[in-house]
């Protein structure tokens, strides 16, 4: 069962919601965060990426950055203002981008269930990123960005959500990237049926936010060790969406060099092992990888994956690593190698071309997206997907609903 808990949200006044709402902390680098927050003192990036208000050469994991996050958070509470709800509640959060609409339930979910894999993972987390978000969470004593969960079809949940969205929303605005964000506070009348409906949902899956979830669990451990009594830190803030509504875009790869090869000799090495054809920029089917090198797009046909027994090994991102990046280019571990970088599919294949043409990369690989069914099947089997396998779009915003611990 999925335990759904109400919480007293810290949230912006409706008039300030659009200014406060910010992209998740981990989808932008420091320079991008600084540019997005420029001229907007209410942007939540001043809290989630407080290094943007520190000297340019400041260590993003230094004491001064976490202290700045706390002072910016306190300032934002006054200036936005951010208000704490009088009573605990559950919320419905809808994202609309072009022809994609997904409507989920925002609430607090059980860290016990996260630890027991009722809330399932599909990625490993990096200790340095866990350390950062755990320290950030404990400094603020708040979970300020929700984990993105998905679940299989649940008609009882759908019925309650459909009734809630007929009412007037708490927030309704379009972000600069064209995503419409609409949030409703669930009335007490609908709340209990919604909690009861989630009790029949057997499994939740983390789609996005593995480090946020892991940091919430880490923070709980640290508070327990410090002798804190059970409280709000027993749960993690998340929004749970029906799996059928969400969209996964490809997570593409660029490599900084071709080892000791020229573009021509690299292509020759590939042709000795695979069928390599001209174009297009996006692969038309699973098993094909589009590659930009030597000023042109090529399709590398990886071949039949049915011989792979593990579902993870059948993913195109795994096969690219196992068949090309490791044996031909010598990139052993994509989690730690400085020779590989990842570009979310929303940026398009033109961004891959720019990376190569500018000299920032030697070659770029455009992937076919992983399916939602792949993600859930791998998580059900206890498997771990390669890093940066999935890019979910549209994304939730930080700062709209925070959970004080």
Residue 264 shares a structural domain with residue 242 = no
Regarding whether 330 and 255 lie in a shared domain, the answer is: yes
Same domain, 92 and 231: yes
Does a structural domain hold residue 257? yes
Please list, in sequence order, all residues whose beta carbon lies within 8 angstroms of the beta carbon of residue 333, skipping any fewer than 6 positions away.
none
Residues 86 and 226 in one domain: yes
Residue 382 forms part of a structural domain: no
Q: For the chain, what is the domain count? A: 2
Handedness of CA 117, 123, 124, 125 (dihedral sign): negative
119: Cα within 13 Å, side-chain hemisphere:
30
Q: Consecutive sets of 10 residues in the chain, 405 residues long: mean pLDDT of each?
A: 92 98 94 96 98 94 97 98 97 97 98 95 90 97 96 97 97 96 96 95 96 96 82 91 96 96 97 96 95 97 80 92 97 92 90 97 97 95 91 96 96
Q: Kindly list the distances between the CA atom of residue 129 and the CA atoms of 54, 61, 136, in Å, as whole numbers in the listed order.
A: 20, 10, 11
pLDDT at residue number 226? 84
> Do residues 221 and 112 share a domain?
yes
Question: Which pLDDT score is estimated for 229?
Answer: 67
Q: Bridge-partner residues for 298, per DSSP?
A: 278, 291
Q: For the chain, percent helix, then strand, then coil, each to nearest 5? A: 35, 25, 40
**Looking at the structure, do residues 186 and 214 belong to the same domain, yes or no?**
yes
Asked whether residue 206 falls in the same domain as residue 266, the answer is no
- The reply to whether 167 and 206 lie within a common domain is yes
Adjacency order of strands within the sheet including 9-12: 82-84, 9-12, 402-404, 142-143
Residue 238 and residue 225 in one domain: yes
**Residues 238, 330: one domain?**
no
CATH number at residue 331: 3.30.1760
200 in any annotated domain? yes
> Per the domain annotation, does 376 fall within a domain?
no
The range of the structural domain enclosing residue 310 comes to 251-368
pLDDT on residue 236: 97
Same domain, 238 and 264: no
Residue 374 lies in a domain: no
CA distance linking residue 120 with residue 212, whole number of Å: 14
pLDDT value at position 46?
A: 98
- Same structural domain for residues 291 and 234? no
Whole-number pLDDT of residue 230: 64
* Cα distance between residue 74 and residue 160, in whole Å: 36
């Amino acid at each position: 069962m999925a335990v759904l808990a109400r919480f007293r949200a810290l949230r912006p006044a409706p008039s300030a919601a659009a200014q406060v709402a910010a992209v998740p902390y981990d989808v932008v680098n420091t320079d991008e965060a600084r540019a997005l927050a420029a001229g907007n003192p209410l942007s939540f990036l001043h809290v989630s990426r407080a290094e943007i208000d520190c000297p340019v050469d400041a260590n993003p994991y230094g004491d001064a950055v976490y202290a700045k996050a706390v002072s910016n958070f306190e300032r934002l509470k006054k200036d936005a203002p951010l208000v704490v709800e009088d009573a605990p509640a559950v919320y419905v959060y809808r994202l609309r981008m072009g022809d994609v609409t997904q409507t989920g339930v925002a609430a607090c979910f059980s860290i016990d269930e996260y630890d027991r894999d009722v809330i399932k993972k599909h990625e490993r987390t990096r200790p340095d990123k866990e350390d950062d978000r755990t320290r950030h969470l404990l400094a603020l004593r708040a979970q300020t960005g929700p984990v993105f969960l998905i679940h299989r079809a649940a008609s009882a949940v759908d019925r309650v959500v459909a009734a809630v969205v007929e009412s007037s929303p708490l927030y309704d605005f379009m972000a600069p990237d064209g995503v419409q964000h609409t949030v409703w506070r669930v009335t007490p009348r609908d709340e209990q049926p919604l909690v009861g409906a989630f009790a029949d949902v057997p499994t939740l899956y983390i789609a996005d936010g593995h480090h946020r979830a892991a940091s919430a669990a880490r923070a709980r451990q640290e508070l327990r060790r410090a002798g804190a009594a059970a409280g709000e830190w027993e749960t993690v803030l998340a929004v749970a969406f029906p799996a059928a509504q969400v969209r996964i875009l490809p997570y593409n790869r660029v490599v900084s060099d071709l080892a000791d090869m020229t573009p021509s000799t690299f292509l020759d090495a590939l042709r000795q092992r695979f069928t390599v054809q001209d174009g297009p920029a996006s692969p038309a089917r699973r098993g094909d990888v589009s590659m930009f090198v030597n000023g042109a797009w090529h399709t590398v046909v990886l071949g039949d994956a049915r011989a792979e027994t593990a579902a993870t090994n059948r993913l195109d991102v795994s096969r690219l690593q196992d068949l090309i990046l490791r044996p031909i280019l010598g990139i052993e571990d994509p989690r730690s190698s400085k020779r590989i970088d990842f570009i979310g599919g929303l940026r398009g294949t033109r961004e891959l071309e720019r990376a190569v043409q500018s000299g920032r990369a030697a070659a770029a690989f455009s992937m076919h997206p992983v399916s939602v069914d792949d993600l859930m099947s791998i998580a059900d089997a206890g498997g771990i997907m390669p890093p940066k396998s999935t890019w979910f779009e549209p994304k939730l915003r930080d700062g709209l609903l925070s959970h004080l611990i």
